[in-house]
Chains A and B, each alone.
Chain A
Amino acid sequence: MSVGKTLAEKILSLKSHGEAKAGEVVIADVDLAFVQDTTGPLTVRQFKESGFEALAKPQQAIIFLDHAAPSPAQQLSNDHILLRRFAEETGCRIYEVGDGICHQLVAENFANPGDIIVGADSHTVTAGALGAFATGMGSSDVAVALALGKTWLRVPESFLIELNGVFPRGVYAKDLILYLIGQIGADGATYKALEFGGDALAQITMPERLTIANMAVEAGAKVGLFPGDKITQDFLMEYGRGENYKPLYPDAEANYEQVIPVNLDQLEPMLSLPHAVDNVRPVTRVKGVKIQQAFVGTCTNGRLEDLAVAAEILKGKKRHLGTRLLIAPASRQVLIQAMEIGYIQSLVEAGAIILPPGCAACLGLHQGVLGDGEICISTANRNFKGRMGNPEAMVYLASPATATASAIRGEITDPRGFM
């Protein structure tokens, strides 16, 4: 029997103070527990119903007001009031409307290699980019994690995604993760950990890792884990917490349920077609579909590097008159940096609409709800029926480059013609 540990086994062994083997159930310390404004109110009610009054670790508990931000409805405004009051009562942290998306703020400010992070949002897996065992849970589980400072976890079996080669021009981390989800299927990694390795990792930046880890859940995975390496260390130092870095690698003899090799050299721009994330095709086979909206943003692709790609492609060009181009920076810091560099100026001049930092149009609550029969190309992570607020509309998922090129032409377009 193999004695080596996967990344998942390593972290869960450490945090459960024992030997965690795939398939076992452990009680693990929680380093960070958070909710957002559409799951948080139920967490607050479950917390109170349980009879709890105090948080186990108030400074490691966060409320993010990002999904309905600013609120489009009185009920959601009242939910915000409830959450602000809970923050006052318990002393937990709160990020306000306009501060940004929970997962981006967790990456910028909190996540460290080896941490356990539970969030009442399925894209909590994003922080796996920093080597954190970060997973989404429901409101009740997070309520109990807030109260006890721990949770139960089944130690997942791991798939090793072995990345080699380099991204060709016009091909991005988003294309890689869409391709992978197409290969694995929307339930192919259910209950499993996706662990990323291979020679290409040394070239895959933290923003790219965040995009990749973010969508692990779209293959059903519990976590999408990157090792803690030089790129992690540099990112933590850049964000003022270099002292939290510790190297984190799987053991050489670790046991993987599957090994999936991917040669980045062979990839091309990809799309997820309506209404399933694993309905993946190369852009070359879909181009020409007319679009009414293009959306660049979200926890998947709302970072500075994504806005840079959009601004670069739009330089000296305009969006198509029949296409609304929505841009939502993932955080206040992203917005500030994008203003300083001049991306926002270029984007607005090209006809883009800048939305406040937050989830924006992603989940169909506000800021870009689609009309009947309309098609949106989006850099988000989900294209389920009804996702952008209308079951009669359709959503295609793509990289920021593909979404921006498509906004210029008014139809789904291969971005490589703009480079």
Chain B
Amino acid sequence: MPDLVLKGKAIKLGDNISTDDIIPGRFAHLRSNLPELAKHVLEDTAPEFASKVEPGDFLVAGKNLGLGSSREHAPVVIKMSGVGAILAKSAARIFFRNAINQGLPVLLCDTDKIGDGDKLEISLTGGTIANLTSGTILDFGKMPPIMSAILEEGGLIPYIQKHKDFVITRSS
């Protein structure tokens, strides 16, 4: 289960970071060896990312993060790099769902208000992001209750191990 309060620094990326950017298709032969695969995270697009990221840091992107392939390995390698949560203006739907299924929060907010290296403190339950560097507070959008429930259990597999089924009330 993710911590209710997350702290770390922002590592900023641009718009339209595809799953091919996050983990290129040419490394498909490493997909059954996740520690090796994870060494190539964002290698073509942001080669400095892997050395900058420290446990608990935030990947902060622009719009349409994770467009493209359904490869769940994209959020997997981001999580393995130590990232505690992803912040973006918008995210492609399969990537969004995959990240939540991996227990990795994706918070949609105005990431223009966050600079590279800014120190952030995020209250997952409170729905706010405190930018300690700039002294501002940002809100992030709510996700459907089914996704919050999956995230609270730490991902889809722990959720299913616990509930053996999807448990929702029929409403948005």
Instruction: Identify the A interface with B (CB < 8 A).
Output: 18, 23-27, 38-39, 41-42, 46, 49-51, 67-68, 72-76, 78-79, 82, 119-122, 124, 136-141, 143-144, 147-148, 150-152, 154, 186-187, 190-191, 220, 222, 276, 363-365, 369, 382, 384-387, 389-391
Contact = CB atoms under 8 A, between A and B. Distances in A.
A176 to B, nearest CB: 21
Contacts of A68: 28-29
Contacts of B28: 38, 67-68, 76, 363, 365
Interface in B124-172: 144-146, 155-157, 160-161, 165-166, 168, 170-172
A142 B24 CA distance: 22
B20 A384 contact: yes
Given A23-B172, A50-B161, A190-B93, A73 B64 contact: no
B: contact size bracket: 35 or more
A116 to B, nearest CB: 14
Given A25-B144, A154-B144, A382-B68, A76 B157 contact: no
Contacts of A387: 20, 25
A369 B25 CA distance: 11
B111 interface: no
Contacts of B93: 190-191, 220, 222
B36 to A, nearest CB: 9
A25 B25 contact: no
B101 A369 contact: no
Contacts of A72: 29
Given A41-B31, A136-B94, A24 B172 contact: yes
Nearest to A24: B172
Nearest to A154: B144
A121 B70 contact: yes
Contacts of A384: 18, 20-21, 68
Contacts of A74: 29
Contacts of A137: 70, 94, 97-98
Given A50-B160, A50-B161, A141-B156, A27 B168 contact: yes
A386 B32 contact: no
Contacts of A364: 24-26
Given A24-B171, A78-B32, A386-B25, A122 B70 contact: yes
A386 B21 contact: yes
Contact of B29 (A76, A120, A152): A76
Interface string B116-127: 000000000000
Given A138-B101, A141-B97, A42 B29 contact: no
B31 A42 contact: yes
Contacts of B155: 140
Contact of A39 (B26, B70, B160): B70
A25 B31 contact: no
A386 B26 contact: yes
A140 B101 contact: yes
Nearest to A46: B157
A136 B70 contact: yes
